């Protein structure tokens, strides 16, 4: 198939919430990406390319709901405002290593 630099859909994430809760092994799908594109068109929020970071957050939120890790009635904006960080794991190798405690 040639060049594999562009991956649409599947990605694996770890999400760390502001309260310390952590969601590991969150896998987004093509369906999650398509749902974001539909939302952008429906709500006239510009182009998908103009909303790349928002798109990543939305697809992770949708995956968490699909996986049953968030309630089905969870509101995206509320969840987004409570996220501390999202770590995308590269499919070609191990995920990132978190820093340990400082010297002391």
Would you state the pLDDT for residue 8? 66
Do 52 and 36 touch, CB atoms closer than 8 A?
no
Residue ranges covered by each domain of the chain: 11-89
The residue ranking higher by pLDDT, 8 or 67, is 67
- For the full predicted model, state whether its pTM sits above 0.75: no
Q: Collapse the DSSP code of 65 into the 3-class scheme (helix H, G, I; strand E, B; otherwise coil) and give the result.
A: helix
Do 26 and 14 touch, CB atoms closer than 8 A?
yes
Do 2 and 28 touch, CB atoms closer than 8 A?
no
pLDDT digits (tens, 9 = 90+) for 26-69: 999 999 988 988 887 886 766 656 667 888 999 999 999 999 99
Residue 99 banded pLDDT, cuts 50, 70, 90: low
């Amino acid at each position: 198939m040639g060049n594999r630099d562009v991956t649409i859909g599947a990605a694996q994430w770890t999400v760390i919430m502001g309260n310390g809760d952590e969601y590991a092994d969150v896998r987004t799908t093509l369906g999650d990406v398509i749902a974001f594109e539909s939302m952008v068109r429906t709500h006239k929020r510009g182009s998908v390319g103009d909303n790349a970071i928002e798109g990543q957050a939305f697809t992770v939120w949708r995956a968490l709901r699909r996986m049953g890790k968030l309630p089905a009635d969870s509101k995206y904006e509320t969840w987004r405002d409570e996220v501390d960080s999202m770590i995308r794991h590269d499919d070609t190798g191990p995920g990132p290593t978190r820093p340990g405690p400082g010297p002391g």
